[in-house]
Structure 1
Amino acid sequence: MKKKLLYVLPLLFLFGSCEKYLDVNKNIDAPAQVEGYLYLANITQQYQGLYWDIRAIGPLTQMMGTSSSTYVNFANQYYVEGSDAGGEIWRIVYWNQGMNLENLINQSLEAEDWTLAGIGYALKAFSWDQLTKVHGEVPLKDAFVPGLLSHRYDYQPDVYAQVREWAYKAVELLERPDDHNYGSKISANDFIYGGDKDKWIKFAYAVIVRNLASLTNKANFKDAYAQELITAAGKAFQSAADDATVKIAGGSQTAPYDDYNNYWGTARPNLSYTYFQHEWAVQVLTGTVPEYDEATGDKIRLDQNPYYPFKLAAKQIITDTLLKEVGHFDPRAVLKLGTTSNKTFEHLNNADSVKNYRYYGGSFSGTVGPIGTAPSYFGRNIASAFSGTEHDGSGRWIYRDDAPYILTTYSEIQFCLAETYWKLGQKTQAFDAFKKGVAADMETTARYIFPGKEGSATGGDKITRELFTSLANQYVDGPYVKNLADFSLSHIMMQKWVALYPWGAPEAWVDMRKYHYDISYTGDYPTHGNGWVQALVEQKWDSDPSKVYKGLYLGPAQVQGRKLSYNVRNEGAPSYRLRPRYNSEYMWNLKSLETLKPIAGTADHYQTSIPWFAYPGEMPQ
């Protein structure tokens, strides 16, 4: 039976407060205190929890569908109170990193270990930025105050400002002269940058960029935030070589602990076959977004080709189906999506063969989609297996046992910059950042290619790195990037969505929420009766020039294949936040939740409460 990895440090501090039962500081066999650098490895490894919560957030962004009984409600924008599902980011910040990170920072400051303290502040800024974007209001000032039995919530304006303050503090400390000889203390325990101060400084600035990029729809964005974002982006990542990832040991079935493997790999069957690519993801990445009859909401059936049975929208944003035209094919589909084509990995370096793979997406909660059945992320219509005559081996691409966890990338930062320039009316600068963002995502995507063995159905990627790079160069120089004739905000945001697929689902969800899922409404933000009613979300048609995400329709939308309904407790609204973690807040901090405005945290529809970053002005009281 596999051993499970135990996180010793959090337990150390839990029991360390019990003076008469166990005082580790008076134990002659234990050190007086844990040295700061010893916290670092455990703190960085906790970011696997981001992938845990993508089980909930992926379906909210239509990157994933799921039939998991625990997470299927997220696909329908609602989930039952009483579960810790979708609470892992909360757990990272308050528990898994929690006091470990606080102690790392405080002890390092006291010891004048400026480099280590700066890394700590950068990690803290990143984690809290993720936390508030997913959950909205969170306990900040009361978070780690000893002796409190309840914790007051702080609102996003304060949390956002604090995140940036921590990031700037990280830069200040990392730039401070530090003559301490750390030896391998930092480099051996830093699984992100191996102690490279310059890259940590860039990372801190990247956190600032991500934080401010969620505010682009604020009425005061241009005056209050845009220049700060542009300045930070200039000091953040300079190429895809700066991408922030958490390295892991891997080892598949030979690893001493399951957690040595990537959460999405085959050795930990978490993606199994209860999670699968959504039909919209397939449509976007293959250029098959359909046209809808605006009078009926139905797709227009052609009955000419079983793989293309519907009339396709004339305006595709990412790619199209003209596979023989140079630069029209986006090779990222081969890696980001799963396909049952070519199960024995033949001709992986042949462009004609690779371009003809078939991709199918599922619905919100089932693998059967509009034209076929979605496979697993490993490319089979069964649960993942790592042994047998046919199997998935150690996985493929970032769904691989030894793949690192991706935190943020140069490509993402460039798309944040492109959107900012667009909002400022600086289209030339926006287009330049856009092109850099697409090219960088190609480089990041190629980094994790591990081709399968020719003639053997035993897992791996269905393209060589050589062919991918060739096709990527053609695409970047083609009509959807370099020679784009009708550059728009949709191109920026949908290319960013593709670049984030699926590791960056939390940030993609930020973007979708700040653009209010392309809901059709009048006023500052959608409300009941002005964007949705109990059984229908009214969304912009793809023909609307102001629609950002072409082809995106929520579950209860007015088009074929949707026309569902949300749980009655949503009162017709889509989800705008995840509830706080049940096991802490709803069991121990209920009175503080009750005070939240404009919707109490105890209300049946709290998950529909729009966060501050998505309001053009301040939150209504």
Structure 2
Amino acid sequence: MKKLIYALLPILFILGSCEKYLDVNKNIDAPDYVEGYLYLANITQQYQGIYWDIRAIGPLTQMMGTTSTFFVPFANHYYASGRDEGGEMWRVVYWNQGMNLENLINQSMDAEDWTLAGIGYAMKAFSWDMLTKIHGEVPMEDAFVPGLLSHDYDYQKDVYAQVREWAYTAIELLERPDDHNYGTKISDNDFIYHGDKAKWIKFAYAVIVRNLASLTNKTDFAGAYAEELITAAGKSFQSPDDDATVEVAGGSQSAPYSGYNNFWGTARSNLTYSYFQHEYAVQVFTGTVPEYDESTGDKIRLDQNPYYPYKLAEKQIITDTLLDEPGHFDPRVAVKLATTSNPTFLNLDDTDNVKSYQYYGGGFTGTVGPIGQAPSYYGRNIASTVTGTVHDGIGRWIYRDDAPYILTTYAELQFCLAEAYWKLDRPSEAFDAFKKGVVADMATTARYIYPGREGSATGGDKITRNLFNTLSSEYVNGPYVNGLTDFTLSHIMMQKWVALYPWGAPEAWVDMRKYHYDIDYTGEYPSNGNGWIQALVEQKPDSDPSKVYQGFYLRPAQVEGRKGSYDVRNEGSPSYRLRPRFNSEYMWNLPALETLKPIPGTADNYQTSIPWFAYPQEMPQ
């Protein structure tokens, strides 16, 4: 009966009332069969789990800071034993989707419902791709074998290959002729593409692109993976209209269940004021990455600008917002970042007004940053509220109660393609994909703008969609995109980081790990004594032309604001993976964890074990 309970509980949880569905069971005492399409709504909605785990992964990418007791360990690249934070995607794959997804696929295959089976395989490929990128080695072959009380782990290289096989299976099934009359069974329960087979095929190719894009720093990327990535990208998303998102009903406090609202919306209080934009995000978005004195690691103070009193790095990769010239202002800052400026939403269509906003970011574990205090994601220096004359309403941008969950976008794929072309030494094609990526992210960003009400401090975005589009056109035609003359890998990867902010933090973390956080080391990959020691991480200075993420420094990097250290159990290393979910693996599956190499899953520093995708060659034994 365990298997049957696994399949049923998440369905009843999402649908809320089971009265309508009691008649689908043949066994009056317990459920023994659910029609395939009835699994679909629940499976798609479980992708909210990504947003759960971004509270752990966001701080690892310096997109977020946090004061939450449960997530501070992740900001410090350490693992707090005995807790399940950072294990939600583990739960999604093995439990929330779990047997529901397996049953959907198997029953659909038996019934020759090729469309439904293809959708199932596409989602399975997407979920497992994210799972292994976050956690590394995972139980795959043993995952859903009835009767097993322990589950052996599969190594990431094998999981990667299986992900692509599932994606290609999805494509093959979706391309098969299917004369079954589904009516509205798929369209009403598919909250991603409403049964649009053509878009699901593109989505499956997108999974392949994302899977292969994590391998760009491998020595055999050009010969083994690049052409497959390029081919898949050509068959995947063709514009931002193909972006994969999960619809969210919303309803705020009037919703029959709080889960109808976006996990990051005000109604669910999951971001509150325990999470906030990191100072690095503010520096990137505003073009205020500072110059550090390489002899001392300190910033160079100028005191000429009361808002930003430090000497700026000569080369800003994304923008230089403090320079008031057309094309130098990236309007995404006014949407993706929060600001306490203009609390009553006045003159949202005025260029000078919007450009005057000031942005502040916090540290790793505190809201106070180097130049001010980071606001909440809703734009105030207090925890969110939805009552009173001043409140946050239903949120803003993708932090709204009714905002969809973003899974992947055309913009992201274009940056993956640009990086692949760059690695193949095809810079003109890389530049073309890069420009398409920036334009696409502008379109995706604009789609979710909902301006606040003029004169009323009750939440919303602080720019109109019309002004955003005008400024984005200026920016694209300016010196940082179309007019760029010194195009580098940094431009590709940092624009991708901006495009992923913050919904795509898991993929941004993939990129940062495959480039080893810009750690300065010799040989194939960093290690103790070669890139870090117990209390110091050696990172490339911004003057190093091989540095990918300009201005990015880990906590023990010994530059101003980064002179801390990691827990001694990290042995000096930053985190390279999240540990498996405690309540399944560390409670019930320890023997399997103990066999993992090169670092056992039971070791104090298992979170520092470098995953296969980040090794230039194969994993050491």
Q: Taking structure 2 as the reference length, what is the TM-score of the superposition? A: 0.96
Which residue of structure 2 lines up, in the alignment, with residue 261 of structure 1? 261
SS of corresponding position for 2:575: coil
Counterpart of 1:363 in structure 2 is 363
Superposed counterparts of 1:533-572, under 5 Å: 533-572=533-572
Q: Distance in 1 between matches of 2:12 and 2:184?
A: 25
Which residue matches 2:598?
598
The one-letter code matched in structure 2 to 1:248 is V
1:498 partner letter: V
Q: C-alpha separation between the residues in 2 aligned to 1:111 and 1:398? A: 38
Pairing of 1:477-496 with structure 2 (within 5 A): 477-496=477-496
Shift of 1:13: 11
* Partner in structure 2 of residue 78 of structure 1: 78
> Counterparts of 1:129 and 1:31 in 2: how far apart (Å)?
31
Deviates more, 1:574-583 or 1:28-37: 28-37
Match of 1:19 in 2: none
CA–CA distance in structure 2, aligned partners of residues 474 and 263 of structure 1: 34
Instruction: Say if 2:521 and 2:531, in contact at 8 Å, map to a contact too.
Output: yes
| Distance in 2 (alpha carbons) for counterparts of 1:227 and 1:292 | 40
Listed one character per residue, the Cα deviations across residues 350-402 of structure 1 (whole Å, up to 9, x for unaligned) are: 00000010000000000000000000010000000111110000000000000
How big is the shift at 1:444?
A: 0.1
| 2:8 corresponds to | 9
**Counterpart position of 1:409:** 409
1:521 has 2:518 as partner: no
Q: Secondary structure at 2:268's aligned position in 1?
A: coil
Distance in 2 separating the partners of 1:392 and 1:145: 47
- The answer to whether the Cα contact below 8 Å between 1:306 and 1:371 also exists between their aligned partners in 2 is no
Shift of 1:461: 0.2
Residues 280 and 361, structure 1, Cα contact 8 Å, conserved in 2: yes
1:435 aligns with 2:435: yes
1:327–1:477 contact (8 Å) kept in structure 2: yes
Q: Deviations over 1:70-101 (max 9, x none)?
A: 00010010021110000000000000000000
- What is the correspondence of 1:176-215 to structure 2 with a 5 Å cutoff? 176-215=176-215
Shift of 1:315: 0.1
Q: Could you tell me how far apart the structure 1 residues matched to 2:153 and 2:322 are? A: 53
Q: What is the alpha-carbon distance in structure 1 between the residues aligned to residue 319 and residue 208 of structure 2?
A: 31
Rounded to whole Å, the distance in 2 between the matches of 1:253 and 1:32 is 35
Shift of 1:10: 3.5
Correspondence for 2:468:
468
* Cα distance, 1:318 vs structure 2: 0.2
CA contact (8 A) 2:536 2:572 kept: yes
Q: Aligned letter for 1:43?
A: I
2:579 equivalent in structure 1: 579
Contact 1:367 1:374 in 2 (8 A): yes
Q: Counterpart of 2:226 in structure 1: which amino acid? A: A
> What are the residue-to-residue correspondences of 1:135-150 with 2, within 5 Å?
135-150=135-150
Q: Deviation of residue 487 (structure 1)?
A: 0.2
Corresponding letter in the other structure for 1:70: F
* Distance in 1, Cα, partners of 2:213 & 2:38: 33
Show the counterpart of 1:151.
151
1:10–1:95 contact (8 Å) kept in structure 2: no
Contact 2:558 2:564 in 1 (8 A): no
8 Å Cα contact 2:297-2:558 kept in structure 1: yes
How far did 1:12 drift? 8.2
What is the CA distance between 1:27 and its match in structure 2? 2.3
Letter in structure 2 aligned against 1:259 = G
Which runs of structure 2 are paired with 1:53-452 in the superposition (5 Å)? 53-452=53-452
8 Å Cα contact 2:122/2:200 also seen in 1: yes
CA offset at residue 319 of structure 1?
0.1
Structure 2 distance, partners of 1:308, 1:420, is 36
Tell me, in whole angstroms, the C-alpha distance in 1 between the residues paired with 2:386 and 2:6.
Answer: 27
Secondary structure at 2:422 match in 1: helix
Partner SS state of residue 390, structure 1 = coil
SS of equivalent to 1:276? strand
Cα RMSD, aligned residues only: 1.4
Distance 2:383 2:339 in 1: 14
Give the superposition deviation at 1:31. 7.0
User: Is the CA contact 2:339–2:380 (under 8 Å) kept in the aligned structure 1?
Assistant: yes
**Distance of 1:353 and 1:424 partners within structure 2:** 44
CA contact (8 A) 1:10 1:99 kept: no
Q: Does the residue aligned with 1:98 lie in a helix, a strand or coil?
A: helix
Tell me the alpha carbon deviations over residues 425-461 of structure 1, each in whole angstroms, 9 at most, x when there is no partner.
0000000000000000000000000000000100000
CA-to-aligned-CA distance 1:194-251 (integer Å, 9 cap, x gap): 0000000000000000000000011100000000000000000000000000001100
Name 1:21's counterpart in structure 2: none
Aligned partners of 1:26, 1:33: CA distance in 2, in Å?
7
**SS state of the match for residue 38, structure 1?**
helix
Deviations 1:134-166 (A, max 9, x none): 000000000000000100000011100000000
The letter of the residue matching 2:363 is S
State the 1:322 CA deviation.
4.5
Given that 2:393 and 2:458 are in contact with CA atoms closer than 8 Å, whether structure 1 keeps it comes out as yes
For 2:314 and 2:359, the matched residues in 1 are separated by: 20
SS of the equivalent of 1:245 reads strand
Unaligned runs of 5+ in 2: 14-23
Once residues 216 and 10 of structure 1 are traced to their aligned partners in structure 2, the CA distance between those partners, rounded to angstroms, is: 40
Q: Supply the AA of the counterpart residue of 2:371.
A: I
The AA in structure 2 aligned to 1:9 is L
The code of the aligned residue for 2:525 comes to: Y
Name the amino acid aligned to 1:408: T
- TM-aligned CA deviation for residue 9 of structure 1: 2.0
Count of residue pairs brought into register by the alignment: 607
Partner of 2:19: none
For 2:475, the aligned partner's letter is Y
Q: Which amino acid aligns with 1:362?
A: G
Q: What is the match of residue 498 of structure 2?
A: 498
Code of the aligned partner of 1:314? E
> Are the aligned partners of 1:323 and 1:355 in contact in 2 as well (CA < 8 Å)?
no
Structure 1 326/7 Cα, relative in aligned 2: closer, same or farther at 3 Å?
farther
Q: Equivalents in 2 of 1:7, 1:433: separation in Å?
A: 43
TM-score by length of 1: 0.96
Q: Does 1:40 align with 2:40?
A: yes
Q: Could you say if the C-alpha distance between residues 145 and 32 of structure 1 is closer, same or farther in structure 2, counting changes exceeding 3 Å?
A: closer
Residues 353 and 26 (structure 1 numbering): CA distance in 2 closer, same or farther, change over 3 Å?
closer
The 1-side partners of 2:212 and 2:489 are apart by 17
Identity of aligned residues (%): 79
2:260 counterpart letter in structure 1: Y
Alpha-carbon spacing, 1:69–1:225, altered in 2? closer, same or farther (3 Å):
same
Separation (CA, whole Å) in 2 of partners of 1:25 and 1:185: 18
1:588: which partner in 2?
588
Bigger shift: 306-315 or 199-208? 306-315
Contact 1:121–1:170 (CA under 8 A) maintained in structure 2 = yes
CA deviations on 1:577-610 (whole Å, 9 max, x unpaired) are 0000000000000000000000000000000000
**Displacement, 1:119?**
0.1
Q: Which amino acid aligns with 2:164?
A: R
SS at 1:406's partner residue? strand
Whole-Å separation in 1 of the counterparts to 2:306 and 2:394: 33
